[in-house]
Amino acid sequence: MTEERHNPISLQNIRLNDRFWSRRAERIAKEVIPYQWDALNDNVPGAEPSHAIENFRIAAGEVTGEFHGMVFQDSDVAKWIEAASYSLHTHPNPKLEAKIDSVIELMERAQRQDGYLNTYFTVAKPEKRWTDFSFGHELYCAGHLMEAAVAYYNSTGKKKFLTIMSRYADYIDSVIGAHDEKMKVYCGHEEIELALMRLFQATGEERYLRLSQYFIDERGKQPCFLKDEPTFGHLSKTKWFDLDYHQVHAPVRAQTTAEGHSVRAMYLYSAMADLAKETKDESLSAALEKLWDNTTKRRMYITGGLGSQGHGERFTIDFDLPNDRVYAETCAAIGLIFWAQRMLLLSPDHRYADVMERALYNGALSGISMDGKKYFYVNPLEVIPEVAENRHDHEHIQVQRQEWFGCACCPPNIARLIASLGQYVYSQRSSTIYTHLYIGSEGAFEINGQPVVLQQQTNYPWSGEVTISLKIEESQNITIALRIPGWCKKQRIIVNGQIVDNVVIDKGYAMITRKWMNGDQINLNFDMPIELTYAHPKVREIAGKVAIERGPLVYCLEETDNGSDLWSIMLPSESKLESEFQEGLFGGVVIIKGDARRSDNEGWGDKLYSSEKCQTRTVNIQAVPYYLWGNRQPSGEMTVWIRNI
């Protein structure tokens, strides 16, 4: 049975060596993780103090003081440890490891006798433990700590943190669950479900899987305890924070639309996919298919951003995708990547990988600045600074990336994503190696007891040329499944200099099965023209507009390149656009240039309304990759969608 398992490549087995990503991963390891360590320790001048480490000291009784921060402040430390643990694979760093060890020891001292570990409830509300499942984030924090413990164990082999978190999980298992005397509850913010699946994978203890399953099966049963049990019920009175906000409006298998807080939703669906894969629960898989379709065909921004409004950081209704009042939280795009990867493992299909890639290169990556030190929480697709600063319905929009947030969920989340990016590149099922992402790397596999190494070279996302070389001791039958990106309309696959015709395409993967030999080489050429993209005509806010894409990248217009009043630019469908690699810009990027029309705003006069139409003239436009917007100063207007004529 082990042979049939479908797993992502583990971080031990992959090394990135990529023009695009390696410097980002290095920046995460060398600058972001140290910076975030300082932030967690309140050592970043000018930034909001986090107090996150201090909270653990207080909980451990080593200093006195009050809890500060969000109720889920512990999770910032957890995500940081997780990111730092991943970075140890690529950037071994004994000093960093020692720092993590010191935090783990601090956590051990902060852990209660019974295994409980949460600084907010321990320090600020000891009598309120397990009373606020809607917004208390207790199990959520536990989940992030479990993920961190698994990551640290996988990186270092050290077991202490895993033991701490297993104790905590065992304690949770002793107070929550199906047995009569236990609480029948789950967390308002999903996370522990997927974390318990990871704890199960790391420890092999099936009770963690069962507890995760309990949380998933219990979720959304009606009547709902969040609403009906005053002991636990702290549901907000407004509709934006009602049952669907927490994805508890229906049992999970009966949910068909992506509802509520979008990060919560992503974490739930990720856990459901883990559980469906592990237990082969087809009712869960079927529900996930529906949720996937609804999310990606009705409620997803072109950037992979999720969440159409700030209030409730949530999904709204089908096709409601305003570009300026969007939420598209960085964490939600990251959550979509988590979910997409798990859907791939459940059933390989390029649909999942396409969305994973879209979110990765656009809506997630936009969350972090070029220098790795500034972050977007919200990722708008259109920004007019004057509007964002003056309209109340844009209150949640930041027109520049910020140094750190009081609610600092996104910065460590993007750090852990990039630090662990290798795991998204490949997966293996039996003797099939799936290539999901095109990232320069060396991945090591074991097939029939033999080591197989795939060396990938590419200038992706700027070019669609990819070379994959095999290192193998003895030649053997292997299927290499190469994802044909959804954006690609014409591809060429060459093995050892021979074009492969009649290749079997299975759900968007070219399945190259042969007796592979050492030194075999695959050359992929994915045609990567500039595309104009239109949205479903039901998307009111994008009607009559067009976006520019090239390969996996969504492009945008910035004021710096195109002047202000970006809504005055009209891009004809037949426009000739050209791409150009600019070495000096952002360390080398492909920009897109071409002609468009522009209304002559200055020539209009001073009437507010007129029966004469505004004149237009031809202008040059220049588009840059969306993920880079706002990296130049002054950061002005930006738009992804352009009026189409």
Does 325 help bind a second copy (rule: CB under 8 A)? yes
Binding string, 187-226, against a second copy, x = CB under 8 A?
A: ----------------------------------------
Q: Quick one: CA dihedral 200, 289, 409, 131, positive or negative? A: negative
Binding of residue 519 to a second copy (CB under 8 A): no
For residues 501 and 144, give the distance between their C-alpha atoms in angstroms, rounded to a whole number.
47
Q: Which is nearer to a second copy, 316 or 369 (CB)?
A: 316
Q: How far apart are CA 256 and CA 294, in angstroms?
A: 7
Residue 244 three-state SS: helix
Q: Which residues sit opposite 482 in a β-bridge?
A: 435, 510
Which stretch, 15-23, 296-304, 404-412, 621-629, contacts a second copy (CB under 8 A)? Answer: 296-304
Q: Which residues contact 455 (CB under 8 A, 6 or more apart)?
A: 441, 442, 468, 469, 470, 471
3-state SS of 459-508?
A: CCCCCCEEEEEEEECCCEEEEEEEECCCCCCCEEEEECCEECCCCEEECC
Residue 395 CB-density burial (10 A; 0-12 exposed, 13-18 middle, 19+ buried) = exposed
Is 618 a residue that touches a second copy (CB under 8 A)? no
DSSP state of 28: I
Q: Name the one range near a second copy by CB under 8 A: 110-118, 497-505, 564-572, 585-593.
A: 564-572
CB of 541 to a second copy, least distance (A): 9
Task: Pick from 97, 101, 442, 531 the residue near a second copy by CB under 8 A.
Answer: 531
Interacting residues of 624 by C-beta distance below 8 A, sequence separation 6+ = 555, 556, 558, 561, 585, 586, 589, 591, 592
Under the binding rule (CB under 8 A), the answer on residue 600 touching a second copy is: yes
Task: List the beta bridge partners of residue 470.
Answer: 454
Binding mask 373-402 for a second copy (x = CB under 8 A): -----------x-xx--xxxx---------
If one asks whether residue 563 binds a second copy (CB under 8 A), the answer comes out as no
130 binds a second copy (CB under 8 A): no
Dihedral sign, CA of 174, 179, 182, 185?
positive
User: In terms of CB distance, is 123 or 326 closer to a second copy?
Assistant: 326
Per CB under 8 A, 307 contacts a second copy: no
Where on the phi/psi map is residue 481: left (φ > 0), alpha (ψ -120 to 50), or beta? Answer: beta
* Stretch 624-643 residues interacting with a second copy (CB under 8 A): 643
Q: How far is the CB of 599 from a second copy (least distance, A)?
A: 4
Nearer to a second copy, 5 or 391 (CB): 391
User: Which residue type, as a one-letter code, is found at position 300?
Assistant: M
Residue in the structure block whose two tokens are 């398992």: 5
What phi and psi, each to the nearest 5 degrees, are found at residue 233? Answer: -80, 105
Based on the shown chain and the rule CB under 8 A, indicate whether residue 609 belongs to the binding site for a second copy.
yes
Q: Which residues are catalytic?
A: 313, 409
Stretch that binds a second copy, among 45-53, 423-431, 475-483, 602-610 (CB under 8 A): 602-610
23 binds a second copy (CB under 8 A): no
Least distance in angstroms from the C-beta of 622 to a second copy: 20
Instruction: Check binding of 312 to a second copy (CB under 8 A).
Output: yes
Residues forming contacts to a second copy in the complex (CB under 8 A) are 240, 296-298, 300, 302, 308-312, 316-317, 320, 325, 384, 386-387, 390-393, 531-540, 543-544, 547, 565, 567-568, 570, 573, 599-601, 604, 606-614, 643-645
